Every structure is written in C-alpha cells, then in structure tokens.
Amino acid sequence: MKEHGNTDSTSQSVLRRIAGIYPQLSLVETRIADRVMEYPFEVIRSSTEELAGICEVSTASIIRFCKKLGYTGFTELKITLAQEVGSLVPRLTTASDQQECSDYVAHVLQQSIDGMERTVSTLDKDMLNAAIQAIANARVIDIYGAGESYVVAENLQMKLRRLGIVANLHSNPHLQVMSTASLQSGDVAIGISLSGCTQGTVDAVAFAAEKGATTIAITNFPDFPLAEKADILLKTNTIETIFPHSSIAARQAQHLMVDLIFVGLLVDYKGKFIKTYDYYNKVIAKKG
C-alpha cells in the first residue's frame, strides 16, 4: 500500500504556497511554477518526466521544486492540487475568456460532451466487464462517495435497487466505515471520487478490501490513492477548465459510468435481473 504523505484536504493551497515564494524562485523554478499555476489540470495528469519535458527542465528540478514547496515529491503535490482546483474561480483576463463564460450554455454543453467522449474513447472494457460481473454475483454492494460524488453514488444505488441488488449507501463517513464491517469475500465495495483523494472514500474502500470484498474505483486519476486501493478501476477522462461550474463535465462522466454498469447488468445478466426490473417499472407506472 503506497504512502503519499499528507493528503488532508485542509493542507495549504499549492497555488498559495507558490505565490508566497514566487519572488525567490530561480528561472528554472519559475518555469515550473508558471506551468502549475496556468495549467493545473494538465499538471495533475502529467508524470514527472512529462512535466519536465514541457517546462524544459530536468526531472530533478521538478522534485526540488516540490520539496521547496514543502511536499515529499511530485505525487503529493498533485494530490493536494487535485483537491483544491475544483474550487478555483475563473481569471477573466482576455476578451475570449469573457465570451466563453458569457456563452455558458454552449460552454457547458461542449464540456459535458467532450468529457463523455473522452471517457468512452479511453474506456477499459475489460475493467467494465469485470465490474459488472462482480456486481452481478455479489451478495451485497457498499457504495461510498462525498460531495457531488455522493449524488452519483445515489444514482448508482437507485439503479442497482431497480434490479433487486442490495446496495448500501451512507452519507456519513463513519457509517461508511462501519458498513464495511459486514462485508465478506464476494461482496463488492465501490468508491466514487473525481480526484481519487477523498479521504473518507479512500478509507472505506481500504477497509472493505481488508474484509475481502472486491473493490471498484470510479475516478478521474488512476495514479492517486483510491485507484491504487481498488481491484477494478473505472476511469473517467475529463479535463476541467477553471470555470465556476467546472465539475459539470466530471459529474456527467461519472453518471455515464453508472449508466454503463446498469445497462451492462441488464444486457449481460438479463435472465437474472429482468423480472425485478419489469416489476419495478410496473410499480412506478401505477404510482403515476
């Protein structure tokens, strides 16, 4: 199990740390700092070698820069950066920036479409099939998520319930961990987190793994803690912009992954779930 240093969401902002020491940075460090500040989502997705190539510096310079900011290395910096960028507000510095935000209907639509298209184009179908098989054969399912990922978790729970699958979901992180105590081999635990760094979700998945459950991660970042603790990785692929509603594309991609699981269960295990699904639809129709 890999350690990543301090991943507490209350850690000081990466961008604030950079701003605090920016005047003291060398020319090489300034190139790295500028890249991190201008393209945080790209940096989160980059390896040390990739960022070094973009900045035209050595990998050692990247590591020294991270340590100068107080991090153990590039991975810890990326984790902290991933936790903070979702709350960034736009810096409208050009006319094109202003136009992009004023035409929010087209912007939101295109961002959502792009995120779902990228997710499908890079989808690992073997992983998806493995997740569907594990869920179909599980005694019980635990689902964990926080914030907007909790909304996606509710959607997944509802869809599984429509198929007659027992799925537990708790909003309280303590109850999430408590729920793992009843899991056993053959059960499934699903953690949903855009960043893959939400500590409550990561902890619950880790405890579920200790109980022998098959663990599934739905996340955008495969190199971060949640993915590393999962047996099966369902990776979304969104590239957010620094925009007030920047989580829209990510959330749509997560819902897409939920729909793929739901439809996959109906298609691959129709004989097992179709009666319950038809019964649910009849009950809903009667309720109007």
Q: What is the pLDDT of residues 106-117, one digit of tens each?
A: 878 888 898 899
Q: What is the pTM of this model?
A: 0.78
Question: Average pLDDT of 223-247?
Answer: 79
- Which of 127-131, 139-143, 220-224, 257-261 shows the lowest per-residue confidence on average (mean pLDDT)? 220-224
pLDDT of amino acid 5: 40
135 lies in the same domain as 40 = no
- Which of 28-42, 157-171, 179-193, 255-269 shows the lowest per-residue confidence on average (mean pLDDT)? 28-42
pLDDT of amino acid 236: 94
Grade residue 81 by pLDDT with cuts at 50, 70 and 90: confident
40 lies in the same domain as 166 = no
Q: What is the pairing mode between strands 214-219 and 232-235?
A: parallel
22: domain range? 14-85
End residue of a domain, out of 38, 70, 85: 85
Give the mean pLDDT of the chain: 87
145 lies in the same domain as 262 = yes
241 lies in the same domain as 152 = yes
Helix locations, the chain, DSSP H: 14-21, 27-38, 40-45, 48-55, 59-68, 74-85, 95-102, 104-121, 125-136, 148-162, 173-180, 199-210, 225-228, 247-268, 270-287
Cβ-contact 56, 48 below 8 angstroms: no
Beta bridge partners of 190: 143, 216
Is 88's pLDDT higher than 70?
A: no
78 lies in the same domain as 115 = no
Residue 227 placed within a domain: yes
Question: Average pLDDT of 265-286?
Answer: 92
- The total domain count for the chain is 2
pLDDT of amino acid 42: 85
157 lies in the same domain as 72 = no
pLDDT of amino acid 97: 52
**Neighbouring C-beta atoms of residue 71, cutoff 10 Å:** 23
Is 69's pLDDT higher than 80?
A: yes
pLDDT of amino acid 10: 35
* CATH code of the domain in which 58 resides: 1.10.10.10
Grade residue 80 by pLDDT with cuts at 50, 70 and 90: confident
pLDDT of amino acid 288: 64
Is 29's pLDDT higher than 90?
A: yes
Q: Of 89-103, 180-194, 246-260, which one has max mean pLDDT?
A: 180-194
265 lies in the same domain as 136 = yes
Is 195's pLDDT higher than 90?
A: no
Give the Cα separation of 125 and 221 in Å (integer).
Answer: 17
Is 286's pLDDT higher than 90?
A: no
pLDDT of amino acid 109: 86
Is 149's pLDDT higher than 70?
A: yes
